[in-house]
Amino acid sequence: MTLVWRHLPRPLCLVTSTLRILEMRPFLSLGASWTSVTKLGLHTRPRMPPCDFTPEKYQSLGYSRVLEIHKEHLSPVVTAFFQKPLLLHQGHMEWLFDAEGNRYLDFFSGIVTVSVGHCHPTVNAAAQKQLGRLWHTSAIFFHAPIHEYAEKLAALLPEPLKVIFLVNSGSEANDLAMLMARAHSNNIDIISFRGAYHGCSPYTLGLTNVGTYKMELPGGIGCQSTMCPDVFRGPWGGSHCRDSPVQTIRKCSCAPDCCQAKDQYIEQFKDTLSTSVANSIAGFFAEPIQGVNGVVQYPKGFLKEAFELVRARGGVCIADEVQTGFGRLGSHFWGFQTHDVLPDIVTMAKGIGNGFPMAAVVTTPEIAKSLAKCLQHFNTFGGSPLACAVGSAVLEVIKEENLQENSQEVGTYMLLKFAKLQDEFEIVGDVRGKGLMIGIEMVQDKTFRIAPPMCITKLEADFAVEVFRSALTQHMERRAK
């Protein structure tokens, strides 16, 4: 879900892809002043934090013409959010500006993709410098940006994850990882969680287990789903089970260092291994935290035991870090590190390039050699000079501006504030997440996904929470009428 907040002079609005959750109008008008919304029922307007950036004046296509072109020429599969879709014009750090000059606080980062901020000046400068030097040469020729970037990225990963394949998207990265797993193991079956999202290509659709992305056409041969160990929606789990500042309100008898729910979900995983796949398998894909499924976290210790079971069957373990990587979770640079596991293959995209089309697969020398024996892998645009210059700049900004630390501090602060909404509103079922990857699940089983750029401040987090609280208040008052 996308959360953005409109600046004055127009009314503040909550923009969401799942409006049916709160039965809201597409543009939710808030009132004139902010007092005590929850006590007085007044629809007031939280004060939007300041921004010292002035966007350029929009001078391109008119709104009506944009709608005409979209309807006539662009894919009908891509449905714009909202009854009146936003026409965005410019971005600056955590802010977006539309064609009319309205300002928005971006709380979804272009589907968890803008990591260090829209048009970050350091990343812009690196891209512009490389544009003037060399846009493209395929990887069959050497160029310094790819070697510089490979060394920087490899330094951020533990041994023996040191061989890097650069590609263009998360789906393409997961395609390649599937191929690697099968080439190395000489097996076919790959397991992924129900609720998992690993891409929309014909190959990765077999791994993706979200109903809206499934097709009636054949595809995804050799892919099997297993129960998602969701400690909120699932049959087991409670107040000590997940690695988050906020736990479920459902109580459990687990000790802080021993999760009984983990044992129950591992039994389900074992059942999949014994009934749904061959004796020897190719691998297991897991997002460290599920993104599209609503920021779902697993019981502590689950992935570690699941990895052991997979390897005992001859399979390799793949961590899909497309949404969780590059410091977004705060406590660690990679999501798999929060589970105390070492995958055999890591896939990454989205935040890797701060919005630039860039992705990577990182694996061990042994697995890389297995792929090389059966395939002459080549990618025309993967690892282009421009992409690698952007990628290096993103890594520089994350380090120099302490954005991983900011994700930890501001993300925890915001999680705890959102968690208080559970005490105020009966329709808020669960608040969860880690760092700046947050989910708020309503009791009717719909989820808000919150993943702002990693440069946001506590002041902006306060604003977002207050707008969300006001929206919930209005919804509850409408229900009461």
Confidence of residue 5 (pLDDT cuts 50, 70, 90): very low
> Residues 431, 294: contact at Cβ < 8 Å?
no
Give the pLDDT of residue 39.
Answer: 40
Residue 114 CA to residue 123 CA, distance in Å, equals: 12
Mean pLDDT of 229-247: 92
Pair of tokens at residue 127: 């891209």
Where are the domains positioned within the chain? 4-122+402-480, 137-395
Give the pLDDT of residue 83.
Answer: 80
Pair of tokens at residue 338: 């929060």
Name the strand (E) or helix (H) holding 315. Answer: none
Task: Kindly tell me if the per-residue pLDDT of 214 is higher than 90.
Answer: no
Mean pLDDT of 175-190: 97
What pLDDT, in 10s, does the model give residues 368-412? Answer: 999 999 888 889 999 999 999 999 999 999 999 999 999 999 999
Task: Kindly tell me if the per-residue pLDDT of 159 is higher than 80.
Answer: yes
Confidence of residue 43 (pLDDT cuts 50, 70, 90): low
Of how many residues is the chain composed?
481
Backbone angle region of 220, left / alpha / beta, with phi > 0 → left and psi within -120 to 50 → alpha:
left
Burial label, 221 (beta-carbon count in 10 A; 0-12, 13-18, 19+): exposed
Nearest CA-CA partner of 472 in 427, 440, 436: 427
Nearest CA-CA partner of 123 in 387, 454, 350: 387
> Residues 176, 165: contact at Cβ < 8 Å?
yes
- Would you list the DSSP string of 334-389? SGGGGGT---SEEEE-GGGTTTSS-EEEEE-HHHHHHHHHH-----SSTT-HHHHH
What pLDDT, in 10s, does the model give residues 112-140? Answer: 999 999 999 999 999 999 999 999 998 88
Give the pLDDT of residue 140.
Answer: 85
Give the pLDDT of residue 240.
Answer: 86
- φ/ψ of 431, rounded to 5, equals -125, 130
Task: Kindly tell me if the per-residue pLDDT of 275 is higher than 50.
Answer: yes
> Residues 415, 176: contact at Cβ < 8 Å?
no
Give the pLDDT of residue 256.
Answer: 67
Confidence of residue 20 (pLDDT cuts 50, 70, 90): very low
Measured CA to CA in angstroms, residue 62 lies from 91, 99, 186, 309, 428 at distances of: 19, 9, 55, 57, 40
**Beta strands 316-320 and 103-106: pairing type?**
unpaired
> Residues 113, 449: contact at Cβ < 8 Å?
no
Q: Tokens 């990679």 — which residue?
A: 334
- Would you list the DSSP string of 90-108? EEEBTEEEETT--EEEESS
CATH fold of 137-395 reads Aspartate Aminotransferase; domain 2 (3.40.640)
What pLDDT, in 10s, does the model give residues 404-452? Answer: 999 999 999 999 999 999 999 999 999 999 999 999 999 876 899 999 9
Residue 473 CA to residue 51 CA, distance in Å, equals: 27
Measured CA to CA in angstroms, residue 37 lies from 32, 45, 235, 429, 441 at distances of: 12, 10, 36, 20, 22
Enter the pTM of the model. Answer: 0.90
Confidence of residue 6 (pLDDT cuts 50, 70, 90): very low
Residue 191 CA to residue 206 CA, distance in Å, equals: 10
- DSSP letter at 8? T
Pair of tokens at residue 436: 């700046």
Mean pLDDT of 155-179: 97
Secondary structure (H, E, C), 40-90 = HCCCCCCCCCCCCCCCCCCCCCCHHHHHHHHHHHCCCCCCCCCCCCCCEEE
The SS3 assignment for 318 reads strand
The Cβ of residue 270 has, within 10 Å, a number of other Cβ atoms equal to: 14
> Residues 27, 51: contact at Cβ < 8 Å?
no
> Residues 186, 202: contact at Cβ < 8 Å?
no
CATH number of 4-122+402-480, picked from 3.90.1150.10, 2.102.10.10, 3.30.160.150, 3.40.50.300:
3.90.1150.10
